[in-house]
Structure 1
């Protein structure tokens, strides 16, 4: 081969390799849930979203693709691989404010909010997030009592831990956004300690149940008792008014009789005696006798009054008949 031909072949091969290198390092693809950071001579330059993009070849520019649009999860206190759950005691075990040991498992939901901070301010973002979460949990639970942490205080502790974790991410500018933090379990270690605290929890729940039942009974009985008391009061008031009115009527009646009695005591006295006798002897028969001699003189007033009544009735009937006869003759 001629020297010129060999030279052309070498130049062509070098150009082909250069083109392949430029093509492989200058074009990159970003998926739907990803975003890319472009570094120019190692310094952050810009971000690109999903699609096919061009950059200057390395070492001028390089691209770092991160799942910035993807919501991610990490677990604290355990690791889960499919259906297999492996406890991590060095993360879950911690001491409470009353110097008891408690096991706390949590799940943190997060995503990347600032790619520049995420890539440059922390070397291992996931490990930093795991450590900061564990520190936040220990800080909050370390100030609480065990029985509060495993019963009524779980929700409050969860909110405090989330706020402290967000505060740490903002303080160190990690570029990580904390979406949520949920405790899976806050409980004492297994064995006798767990059984003892479970018994305490059951006793507390039974206590609350009895208190609620007592309050329900109280709310049921007190209104009824108040109603019954009000009814008795109203009945007593009605009886009081009735007796007062009756007493006032009796006084008025007595005063009326007394005023007439003062005018003519004898007549009033006789009338009262007769009215009293009529009340106590409504069907009595009256006899008038004279026992001053050996012979008893008897005056049958009842029969005389009866005969007088019969005679009066007969005379009235006769007078009516005569009037009718006279009236007929006139016609």
Structure 2
């Protein structure tokens, strides 16, 4: 039987697959009798859960992903308030009682301090995975009266290089969609990621690392990738689809839009048609495509695949916009450049 693997030796994490091993501490809080209980920092271990728990049967499971960095002033959380508010939004979507924002932040600060010996130096970080699920032991679709909040931590990204963002290719999914209007596309619900797996398998079978989803109604408008937001550079303007109920409000996405202005880049949110993107790649108007997310930071998309044709973006290397945004993001996260708002970096 698979069990949680923990280690107190940073070397164990350097060559292990992401998310396979964890720090020896975790955070726990329970929603019982109509209120959230104080959080605890416990030894990381497997949990006991009723096989009739609603989260196992009816999809009441949400999560977040954020990072802690070792700055010159000590350990810091990157934009935990925005992550807390997004998790509260996800909770409401599936009928859960949101964890109070301050409790969310304080619990993660406590976790990082307990795991500080495993917090890597630049360019690594601690990846934090808070999640919540319905634990009411009762079959029948309905709202869970009892909830469990947990948070794990794992060292991550020791081999990242902000000056050389990773590259990947994305396959345009014509057969599957990630989200539909009126659904849960704006929430970080576990089921959204399960629904993307068929498209991800198709993309990998075609030789691509990720999948690019289009809108559900017209199959025309670009939405996002399987776990990352989408950007392109067209005519020297950084562009990304506007947020909607089918696109996740990415924290890194929001950061890049703000940082682009600091770097003097023109940036705008506007609908992007897949036909225009492919034509722009061929004509050279689209000079860069990038994706972003908490775990991946900034990734250069150098190939777009669609209906059996591979479109190489420019010369197939990360472009100047992508590199500058990647470097600036890391500089802010590690305290080497000023944060754009006081709540971007919260000391632990």
TM-score range, shorter chain: under 0.3
Q: TM-score, normalised by structure 2?
A: 0.23
Which structure is larger by alpha-carbon Rg, 1 or 2?
A: 1
User: Whose RCO is larger (CA < 8 A, sep 6+)?
Assistant: 2
Higher helix share: 1
Q: TM-score, normalised by structure 1?
A: 0.24
Higher strand share: 2
